[in-house]
Structure 1
Amino acid sequence: MQSLKVLILEDHPFQLMALHQMLNANGVFDVLTAESVESACRSLERRGRVDVAICDLQMPDADGLALIQHLANEGLAGALIVLSGAERNVLDNVSQLARQLGLRVLGSLQKPACAASLRKLLEQYLHETPEPQPVKAVAPQSGVPDLQALRPEQFELTLSQWVVHYQPKVCFEGTLVGVEALVRWQHPTLGLLTPRQFLPMIEQAGLLATMTWHVLDQTLAFSAGHRLDNGDALPVAVNISPRLLEHEDFTRQVTAALERHGVPANALTLEIIESAQCALDIAQLEGLLRLRISGCQLSIDDFGMGDSNLQRLLELPFSELKLPSEFIRGMANDGRKAAVVAGALMMARRMDLKVVVEGVETVQDLLSIKALGSPVIQGYFIARPMDGNHLKRWIADREGFCNRPIDQLMPSSCRRM
């Protein structure tokens, strides 16, 4: 770990010294220490970006949230470890906030930290391959200056730069059951951009529908071109804004795209992003029912995160619900999250709905889910989003063991007896 550069924000001298010694014992010697947010910001200004920031929350002046915001705004940390004596639910909520700001959170530790726990998180940082990043990380609030200067008609000219990455979904038996399509912007100078960096500007330009149909078209073309072992088209899922459902020709355009690529309706899942603002008339609801009757699947995305999830679940003909990563991360050590997931799985079984669990990142997450049931799983533990060529290689590499249960692919020490 000698190559790691780490920042510690800790106002207690003994805790600061102990953390520094733990890092040294783990082979990390490039360590910046700070006893206040102000001194941490000065150190970062002098020494530049760090790989990992270890951030205490309770400080005498500005609290740790101020540093987390600064790290996110300026792109000054590859990952974050939250360390505090605060209650566990506070640590979890801070971690969730940091992720929403765009930071990669390795985990949260309650004081006093131990060397083994710290080492585990640092090893996680080293072993996980990060997603491609643009030249400079940009906070959601500030946007990307080069893009903000574009007029709506200029945005439309970038259509060829909107590419699709795919994240696999597998069952516990180890079989690939489909992929989720995720849009990316392959910018010629800024590199690969995620929706967090450009989607607000796409919406402001009135091009959300254009982008969605472009993604659907690329995704169905990929599905048609990559068959499963049994010869069926690869099942794909595409995110749909509720506002698109209100378009009169929505159902017709979906049907036309399926016919154009020769993909059967049962190979397509439309993931509806939850919104309380979606109000469909009878004709639009009839269109969704026609898609369902033809075999197309309808999934309620980020279930439990919106104000009207339960009502929407009863109003629309959903066949699947997706549990978001916010409920899954750290579930092994959080009885509240486990209770929420168990309740959702029970409800889904009673309603005859399929369940996809996303955000599975660790062995502990996986085993906690298996103890509650066997839904389809998706997340970094399985695979990160990748372009079509990388996905084909990923599938080919798995052919030798694709029918083995997921837990048999883990180290024997991690398996549940």
Structure 2
Amino acid sequence: MHSLTVLVLEDHPFQLMALHQMLNANGVFDVLTAESVEAACQTLSRRGRVDIAICDLQMDGTDGLALIRHLADNDLAAALIILSGAEPCVIDSVGELARQLGLNVLGCLQKPANSLVLLQLLRRYLDGEAIEPRLPQEPQYPQLLALSAAQLADCKAQWVVHYQPKVCFGGKLAGVEALVRWQHPTLGLLSPAQFFPVIERANLFDILSWHVLDQALALSAQHRLAKGRALPVAVNIEPKLLARSDFRQRITAALERHKVPASDLTLELVETQGSTLDNLQLEALLHLRILGCQLSIDDFGLGESNLQRLLELPFSELKLPSEFVRGMGQDGKKAAVVAGALIMARRMNLKVVVEGVESADDLLALKDLGRPVMQGYFIARPMPGAELCSWISARTGAGLESSCK
């Protein structure tokens, strides 16, 4: 396994030894151990930032929450695993707090540790995309910060679109979500978290959004030529884009240009701070729904006004975020939340897409809850268009394009 530096905070000698051995067995040999928060802080002051911190919560003296705060305040860990004997609701709440503090939480687990689960979390970290990385500090990418708005716009050809498949339980490909990346010539492939602040500062989200839409519709049209029908695509939009007077006209023109049916385009409405829609924005959405476009409420349950929006706007799809789904197979509370959302969606005649399906346990739990459309690393990672076409061909050849049941 790629060389990792892992810090383990654990005050129980046997548990500490077991974790150390599990990490070694999984190819991680640079393991720093500490039996108290104070010792962990001292180790970090000597060694500096670690790749992953594995943190217990219940300890004699200062509890593990203090170390989590220290890691976040000083950017001392690229990712965090919470492993504790505390109640599951406490562990999950600490994980949510850690995310709000800006840490990448790979997992919130109850003791005892499991070697297989630990390996899955290490691989998730090495994959690099399962959890969005923490926003970089500005000095990290001076090449981007030095660019003017015009120079950033000239980089549009480097803004590439990756596609993550959405599938039904029967195996049928239900569609794909378009996710933008920046293929920078010297910095490599950048995730949205790494370059969106620069795009936002330059007020270029409009240009970026239309670029992603055009690329996604082009792929859909390409699929129609190869397979006989357009590929359903979903594209994220921010509510402020709806305020443009020509929003509906540009969407319509793009569909006509690529000869993609309106019903094969889903607009995923992204929740933002203070993003209440006015009458003109609502009218724009209604025109598109009348045209036949689909409208999805993204990250349902995480925004400030998700439920109110669901009542007010003409959504056709509800999208459950990975925060509710990841680990659902072992978490009865998460399963209850997902089940409730599925029941509500059925009564409102809404389609449901579940994000963050990352294990066979998650998949089986969803099967018991009604078999919604799924999206996640257990299904497929986001991939470039050419790779997606090969992925689709391989599934078709294996007979996996059966109908949803």
1:351: Cα distance to partner? 0.9
Identity, % of aligned positions = 62
Provide structure 1 residue ranges, at least 5 long, that are not aligned to the other structure: 408-417
Output one character per residue of 1:319-369: Cα deviation in whole Å (capped at 9) or x when no partner.
111011111112222222222111111111111110000011111111111
| Cα 1:64–1:228 shift into 2, 3 Å | farther
Worse-matched range after superposition: 240-249 or 119-128: 119-128
1:207: Cα distance to partner? 0.8
**Partner of residue 256 from structure 2, selected from 254, 259, 274:** 259
Worse-matched range after superposition: 264-273 or 88-97: 88-97
Question: Match of 1:412?
Answer: none
TM-score under structure 2 length normalisation: 0.87
Aligned residue runs from structure 1 range 7-406, under 5 A: 7-23=7-23, 29-37=29-37, 39-40=39-40, 43=43, 52-58=52-58, 60-61=61-62, 63-66=66-69, 68-69=71-72, 73=75, 76-77=77-78, 80-98=80-98, 101=102, 103=104, 105=106, 107-111=107-111, 113-114=112-113, 117-123=114-120, 125-126=122-123, 130-131=127-128, 139-140=134-135, 142-143=137-138, 144-146=140-142, 147-227=144-224, 231-275=228-272, 277-399=274-396, 400-403=398-401
Give the Cα–Cα distance (whole angstroms) in 2 for the partners of residues 406 and 96 of structure 1: 34
RMSD across aligned positions (CA): 3.1
Output one character per residue of 1:188-244: Cα deviation in whole Å (capped at 9) or x when no partner.
221111111121221121111111011111111111111388611111000000111
Contact residue 317 and residue 353 of structure 2 kept, 8 A: yes
Give the Cα–Cα distance (whole angstroms) in 2 for the partners of residues 356 and 295 of structure 1: 19
Q: Which amino acid aligns with 1:251?
A: R
Contact residue 56 and residue 84 of structure 1 kept, 8 A: yes
Contact residue 133 and residue 193 of structure 2 kept, 8 A: no
SS for the counterpart of 1:226 is: helix
Output one character per residue of 1:42-80: Cα deviation in whole Å (capped at 9) or x when no partner.
656766776653222345447231354279x35x55x54
Worse-matched range after superposition: 84-93 or 95-104: 95-104
| Cα 1:50–1:203 shift into 2, 3 Å | closer
Q: Which amino acid aligns with 2:141?
A: P
Worse-matched range after superposition: 192-201 or 15-24: 15-24
Worse-matched range after superposition: 232-241 or 339-348: 339-348
Give the Cα–Cα distance (whole angstroms) in 1 for the partners of residues 257 and 310 of structure 2: 30
Contact residue 320 and residue 354 of structure 1 kept, 8 A: yes
Question: Match of 1:410?
Answer: none
Give the Cα–Cα distance (whole angstroms) in 2 for the partners of residues 26 and 190 of structure 1: 29
SS for the counterpart of 1:174 is: coil
SS for the counterpart of 2:127 is: coil
Contact residue 171 and residue 400 of structure 2 kept, 8 A: yes
| Cα 1:16–1:93 shift into 2, 3 Å | same
Question: Match of 1:415?
Answer: none
Contact residue 68 and residue 98 of structure 1 kept, 8 A: no
Give the Cα–Cα distance (whole angstroms) in 2 for the partners of residues 334 and 196 of structure 1: 29
SS for the counterpart of 1:277 is: coil
SS for the counterpart of 1:238 is: strand
| Cα 1:351–1:41 shift into 2, 3 Å | same
Output one character per residue of 1:133-168: Cα deviation in whole Å (capped at 9) or x when no partner.
9xxx97416244322333323322221111111000
TM-score under structure 1 length normalisation: 0.84
Contact residue 303 and residue 322 of structure 1 kept, 8 A: yes
| Cα 1:345–1:207 shift into 2, 3 Å | same
1:281: Cα distance to partner? 4.0
Output one character per residue of 1:162-182: Cα deviation in whole Å (capped at 9) or x when no partner.
111100000010111100001
Worse-matched range after superposition: 48-57 or 227-236: 48-57
| Cα 1:128–1:54 shift into 2, 3 Å | closer
Q: Which amino acid aligns with 1:257?
A: A
Contact residue 239 and residue 277 of structure 2 kept, 8 A: no
How many residue pairs were aligned? 397
Give the Cα–Cα distance (whole angstroms) in 1 for the partners of residues 53 and 213 of structure 2: 39
Give the Cα–Cα distance (whole angstroms) in 1 for the partners of residues 156 and 392 of structure 2: 28
Give the Cα–Cα distance (whole angstroms) in 1 for the partners of residues 125 and 73 of structure 2: 24
Q: Which amino acid aligns with 2:95?
A: S
Provide structure 2 residue ranges, at least 5 long, that are not aligned to the other structure: none
